[in-house]
Amino acid sequence: MLKIENLNAGYGDVQVLWDVNMEINEGEVVALVGSNGAGKTTLLYTISGLIKPKSGSIKFLGQEIAGLPSEDIVNLGISQVPQGRRLFAGMTVKENIMMGAYHRNDKEKIKEDFDFVLELFPRMKERLNQAAGSLSGGEQQMCAVARGLMAAPKLLMIDELSLGLAPLVVETIYEAIERVIARGATVLIVEQDVLLALEQANRAYVLDVGKVILSGSSQELMDNPMIKEVYMGI
Amino acid sequence: MGSLELTQGVVNAILLSGTLALVAIGFSIVWGILNIINIAHGAFIMLGAYVTYWLFTLFGIDPFLSIPLSMITLFIVGYVIQRYLINLVIRAPLLVTFLLTFALEIVIINLATFFWKGDLRSVTPAYSGAGFTIGAVQIPYVRLGAFAISLLLTGLLHVFLTYTKTGNAIRATGMDIDAARLQGVKIAQSYALTFALGSALAGAAGSLISISFPIDPTMGGAYTLRAFLICVLGGLGSIPGVMLGALLYAFIEVFSGIYAPGLKDAIALFVLVFVLIVRPTGIAGKAFYH
């Protein structure tokens, strides 16, 4: 579904990603793990078109999307729940969620999806007319995931969902995401919490200082002594 | 000073606040969403005033009826200027856009002076001096009409920004550009539309001003200053903030005109400094458009 080859990208003169190769198949849940500053968010921004790559190729459903403007990439079916949630703080929860469907015109399907995300996150139903900035951290993350889902993505990318949230809240949100996955969604999960990510995913890539240093099935990585030592502290 | 003078002052200030809110609102959305302090805003107001003046003088079109034409004209002017000029420096530091719009103001004023001369001109429909009185308080029709239209346009802007998809996209752009792009918002389009709307509202303000006050090509500068003061007083980023700022500023302008003519700007700036010390975000705070 998504095929990244020899991708180089960064900010201005600072190169962050070095010859990154990665592949996500339809229906798969893939984790991208790595420590702070490894380039995970940069990779997601490049896929979403917020950053123009220096070189390399990103193919989505066979089409080259490297360098396309972000609105075209959303239209093709890639949606992102960005790190730090990035909600529109002054807008209501409902307005935020509906912004996810901004590029869509299929009114009835939008209504269906809206009902679905409210069912996934019943807490959002109670908060619909509240300003998003007034929500708790966990609620904001629910709102951000709901917004990401409203794009009706073929590929959903979630960046650092667990960051700064209580474990119980993280669990609740991942349970909702599991329901989305059960419906056949393709998901890319980016996490610093390696164990958490590997539990969710079929396969994983390990990014370190902008390079993919390891990849394999989640089980393989969990058994890998280096991963155990460096990322799980076992 | 008697209570009649006081009451008349209050009424004048309230009526003036409508037009001032309209003067400031376009300036405010451009500042809030594009992060551009548009020095040429007053020049757009002047162009709107001249649209009304020429339509009235050449074709006898009622000044109130010419408002939509003035808005459409300025909408197009604003859209083109943003898309093909300001967009070139949109990511540049504030000072660059500041200088660019400053230059733009000079160009527009010079062209206006060249083509239309510097004379003071007036729009004088038959009803321009007429009004009615409540008790002994005088209410001129044109001022009341300007007040009503200002409120109407401000209300329409609020409805547009809150209840339409495009309006929401504009607000989202102002709050978080990258997050807006991730939802598929075309930022360049959002920006051009916002600037065009801001210009159209400046055009409407110019039309209303031309009915009550004499106009000339340099009239805009004073309105840019007023718009700036009102935005900072009320707080950037919300329509209620602008209206509050306009109301406060109108009272300062009217009452300093009665008690201390000539000190108007000094008093306004003094109040501004005071507000900024007590409440640095402005009276209504930073809300980003609702």
Assigned token pair, B84: 């093909």
User: pLDDT digit string (tens) for B225-274?
Assistant: 999 999 988 888 789 999 999 999 999 999 998 888 888 888 888 888 88
pLDDT confidence of A74, banded at 50, 70, 90?
very high
For testing the chain B interface, which of A42, A65, A70 should be mutated: the one with the most B CBs within 10 Å? A70
Assigned token pair, B16: 């003036």
pLDDT confidence of B4, banded at 50, 70, 90?
confident
Query: Average model confidence (pLDDT) for chain A?
Result: 94
The reported pLDDT for the residue numbered B2 is: 76
pLDDT confidence of B287, banded at 50, 70, 90?
low
- Among B172, B288, B289, select the one facing A99 at the smallest CB separation: B172
User: pLDDT digit string (tens) for A37-56?
Assistant: 899 999 999 999 999 999 99
Q: Which of the pair, A233 or A125, is modelled with greater confidence?
A: A125
The reported pLDDT for the residue numbered B41 is: 98
The reported pLDDT for the residue numbered B1 is: 56
Indicate the residue type of A232. M
For testing the chain B interface, which of A45, A50, A71 should be mutated: the one with the most B CBs within 10 Å? A71
User: pLDDT digit string (tens) for A147-162?
Assistant: 999 999 999 999 999 9
User: pLDDT digit string (tens) for A130-153?
Assistant: 999 999 999 999 999 999 999 999
pLDDT beyond 80 at B120: yes
Cα angle B223, B228, B229; round to 5: 100
Q: Which residues of A touch B179 (CB under 8 A)?
A: 82, 86-88
Interface contact A98-B168, CB threshold 8 A = yes
- How many angstroms separate the CA atoms of B184 and B186, rounded? 6
The mean per-residue pLDDT over the stretch A62-73 comes to 96
User: pLDDT digit string (tens) for B135-171?
Assistant: 889 999 999 999 999 999 999 999 999 999 999 999 9
Interface contact A100-B181, CB threshold 8 A = no
Interface contact B178-A82, CB threshold 8 A = yes
User: pLDDT digit string (tens) for A196-216?
Assistant: 999 999 999 999 999 999 999
Which chain A residues touch B if contact means CB-CB below 8 Å?
Answer: 45, 48-50, 69-71, 74-75, 79-80, 82, 86-91, 95, 98-100, 102-103, 147, 151
The reported pLDDT for the residue numbered B213 is: 93
The reported pLDDT for the residue numbered A96 is: 97
Give this complex's ipTM.
0.94
pLDDT beyond 80 at B283: no
Interface contact A82-B171, CB threshold 8 A = no
User: pLDDT digit string (tens) for B220-239?
Assistant: 999 999 999 999 888 887 89
The mean per-residue pLDDT over the stretch B86-104 comes to 90
Beta-carbon-side half-sphere exposure of residue B72 (alpha carbons within 13 Å): 5
pLDDT beyond 60 at B289: no
The reported pLDDT for the residue numbered A234 is: 64
For testing the chain A interface, which of B29, B183, B187, B238 should be mutated: the one with the most A CBs within 10 Å? B183
pLDDT beyond 70 at B290: no
Which domains can be identified in chain A, with CATH numbers?
A: 1-77+155-234 (3.40.50.300), 87-152 (no CATH)
Quick one: three-class SS letters along chain A? Answer: CEEEEEEEEEECCEEEEEEEEEEECCCCEEEEECCCCCCHHHHHHHHHCCCCCCEEEEEECCEECCCCCHHHHHHHCEEEECCCCCCCCCCEHHHHHHHCCCCCCCHHHHHHHHHHHHHHCHHHHHHCCCEHHHCCHHHHHHHHHHHHHCCCCCEEEEECCCCCCCHHHHHHHHHHHHHHHHCCCEEEEEECCHHHHHHHCCEEEEEECCEEEEEEEHHHHHHCHHHHHHCCCC
Task: Find residue B131's DSSP bridge partners.
Answer: B140
Q: Which of the pair, A176 or B4, is modelled with greater confidence?
A: A176
Cα angle B107, B73, B108; round to 5: 5
